[in-house]
Amino acid sequence: MQDILFYVFAALTLVCGFLVVANPISRSPVTSALFLVLTIVSLSGLFVLLHAFFLAAVQVVVYAGAALVLFLFVIMMLDLRAEERRRITRFGLIGGGLAALAVAWLFRAVPREAALVASGPPHVEGSTSALGALLFTQYLLPFEAISLVLVAGMVGAILLSRKEPS
Amino acid sequence: MTVGLGHYLTVSVVLFCLGLLGVIARRNVVIVYMALELMLNAANLALVAFSRFNRNLEGQVMVFFIITVAAAEVAVGLALIVALYRKRQTAHVEDLASMRL
């Protein structure tokens, strides 16, 4: 059952991910953003299969909820209708394909060697309380530091996107 | 054949390559940004898979931090795109070549 679910979610992730970057029907950024939502939701399905329940919830809330709404708002503000008529250049497509193939070639041994890295059959762990305990004891300092990153990001976003006082 | 670490890593590598293809091939800044998010998510998937199959929760902590940083990064990056669009009236990579040598 879990194996079938893995294949379903993996196929959904990859197909939707492909439709984000190269949609043959529509070149609109809105379509890409909505397929990105689907990609992220199916990725969180994979997280559930990996027993990372808290991260699956965070993934949906933060990415599909907050980040994608931000994307859609920016697309709405920019009025990118003129951009849709631009074509993907052949040079970019070939270059991008070559780069992607090169990275895939670099990682070609990963699936074969992965069994060596894995230490035995996985057991059920990854409960939210264990993650929280780790986060608030051993990783307390990075946890506090990340709040500063968020504040800096917020201030930066406000500063960058406000209108110039003229 | 039971699903193991290799399967998850394969999905992660393919997703990363798709993101790279998008970053290089697409010309719209917003879509390039979405492809960057895809690459970040591919890395997250690999980390969660490692964390599960090595019985080690620290990978999940790392993913938690990555998601937080990505949220801040999305906010700043989109603000940059909006500021750029205000100045140049374009969101197209090839029109933003004023720093080219």
Domain residue ranges in chain B:
5-95
Tokens for A17, please give them.
Answer: 């991910």
Give the whole-angstrom CA distance, residue B78 versus residue A67. 10
- The 10s digit of each residue's pLDDT in B17-65 is 999 998 988 888 888 999 999 999 999 999 999 888 888 888 889 999 9
Which value does ipTM take for this structure? 0.90
What distances in angstroms separate CA B45 from CA A20, A48, A128, B28, B52, one per listed residue? 18, 11, 18, 26, 11
The CATH fold of domain B5-95: Helix Hairpins (1.10.287)
State the pLDDT at residue A122: 55
pLDDT along chain A (166 residues), means of 10: 89 92 81 92 92 90 88 83 66 85 84 66 65 89 93 91 73
What is the DSSP track for A110-151? HHHHHHHHS-SS--S---HHHHHHHHHHTTHHHHHHHHHHHH
* Residues of chain A neighbouring B26 (CB-CB closer than 8 A): 21-22, 88, 92
State the pLDDT at residue A100: 86
Q: Does B31 touch chain A (CB under 8 A)?
A: yes
Task: State how far residue A118 is from chain B, nearest Cα, in angstroms.
Answer: 5
Angle (nearest 5°) at CA A25 between B33 and A43: 50
Q: What is the mean pLDDT of residues B78-90?
A: 85
Cβ–Cβ below 8 Å for A92 and B25: yes
- Chain A residue with Cα closest to B72: A153
Count CB-CB contacts under 10 A for residue A23: 14
State the pLDDT at residue A88: 67
Which residues between 41 and 70 in chain B have a beta carbon less than 8 angstroms from any beta carbon of chain A? Answer: 41, 44-45, 48-55, 57-58, 60-61, 63-65, 67-70
